[in-house]
Chain A
Amino acid sequence: MDLETILFYFFMGLTCLSVLYIAWTKNILYAAFALMLTFLGMAGLFVFLGAEFLAITQIVVYVGGILILIIFGMMLTNKLSDKKLVTQRYQLGIGVLIAIGLGYVLIRLIANGAFRNLVWMDRSHTTTAGLKALGMQLMTQYVLAFEIIGLLLLIALIGALYIAGKVRKEESHAA
C-alpha cells in the first residue's frame, strides 16, 4: 500500500461515511455539513481520476455555491428559535426497501457486467489529456452545448429572481 492508494481509499471512505450519515441523520444542518464532506471527498476522487479541473469546479461550485445556498434556504425557511432544525421522516420502511432493492439490483449488475474484461479497459495507464485539451474541446467540438448551457444559466437566474424576488398580491390570502 503506497501513499496514493491509502489516500484514494481515505477519500472513498470519507465520501461513503458522510453519505450514509446524511441518509441517517434527522438534523438538516448536520446533513448540510455532511454534504460538504461528501463534496470534498468527491473532489479528492476526481483528482485521482485525472480530472483536476473538475475537482476545482466541484469545490468552487458545490461547496462555495450550492451548499451556501442550501444553508441560506434552510435559515430562511425555518423559524430559528430554540429548537433544532429537525426533519421528520415518513414512509421510512418503503424508502429503505426501495433504496436497498435498487442498490442490490445495481450492484448485481456491476458484478455481472465484468467491466474489467472489456477491450477498452486496458488503456487506463495512458496519460490524461489535461486542462488544455479540455478547454480546446469545450471551445471547438462542444461549443454549441457550451453556449446553450450559458443561456440556461441566464434563464435560471431570471426565473429564480422572478419567482423569489417579487412580492405579489396573492400573499394576502396566505393561510
Chain B
Amino acid sequence: MQLDALLILAVVMFCAGLMVAITRKNAIMVLIGIELMLNAANLNLVAFSRFDPQALQGQIFTLFVITVAVAEAVVALALAFKVYHYFQTVDLDKISTLKK
C-alpha cells in the first residue's frame, strides 16, 4: 500500500477538521471537526503500525485514542445540551456573557 498517499489523506482530513472547527458557529459542527482531526491522527498511527515488527503498538494506541474520543464526545455533547438549555442556542458567537 502507498504510505505517502495515506499520509496525505490524513493531512487533508486534519486540515479540513481544523477548518471546520475554527470557522463554524454551531457547537456540534465544531465537535465534528474535532472528531475529524482525531481520526486523521488514528489513520497515521495505523498506517505506520503496519511497518512495526509486531504490527501492534500503533493499533493499541489507536484503541486508546478512540476511547478518549468517545469520552470527549459524550462530555462535549452534555455541555452543549446544558448550554442550549441556558442560552436557548448553541451558536458560539452568542454565548458571550463573560464579555459584558
Question: Is A92 in contact with B23, judged by CB distance below 8 angstroms?
Answer: yes
Indicate which residue in B3, B53, B72 contacts A123 across the interface (CB closer than 8 Å): B53
Q: Are B12 and A22 in contact (CB under 8 A)?
A: no
Q: A49-B47, A61-B66, A66-B69 known; A39 and B39 CB under 8 Å?
A: yes
Which residue of chain B lies nearest to A163 when distances are taken between CB atoms in the complex?
A: B78
Docked Cα-Cα span, A138 to B62, in Å, equals: 12
* Main SS at interface, chain B: helix
C-alpha gap A21/B12 in the complex (Å): 12
B interface footprint on A4-21 (CB within 8 Å = 1, 0 otherwise): 000010001001100110
Do B29 and A164 touch across chains, with their CB atoms under 8 A apart?
no
Partner of A103, one of B4, B15, B71, B88: B15
Whether the pair A89, B25 counts as a contact (CB closer than 8 A) is yes
Q: When chains A and B are docked, how far (Å) is the Cα of A71 from the Cα of B3?
A: 33
B36: chain A residues within 8 A (beta carbon) = 19, 22, 35, 38
Contact flags A86-98 to B (C-beta < 8 A → 1, else 0): 0111111011101
Interface residue? A76 (CB, 8 A): yes
Question: In the complex, which of the residues B4, B9, B42 contacts A115, with contact meaning CB atoms closer than 8 Å?
Answer: B4
Q: Contact between A23 and B50 (Cβ–Cβ < 8 Å)?
A: no
Given A106-B11, A134-B56: A89 and B24 within 8 A (CB)? yes
Number of interface residues of A (CB under 8 A): 85
For the complex, what is the distance from the CA of A66 to the CA of B24, rounded to whole Å?
19
Q: How far is the CA of A91 from the CA of B25 in the complex (A)?
A: 10
Q: Chain A residues near B4 (CB, 8 Å)? A: 110-111, 115-116
Which residues in B have their C-beta under 8 angstroms from that of A65? 70
What are 16 contact pairs spanning A and B, CB under 8 A? A16-B9, A32-B32, A72-B77, A76-B81, A87-B25, A95-B18, A98-B19, A99-B18, A103-B15, A106-B14, A106-B15, A107-B8, A115-B7, A123-B51, A134-B56, A174-B85
Closest 6 CB pairs of A and B: A156-B71, A95-B23, A164-B78, A87-B26, A99-B19, A23-B16
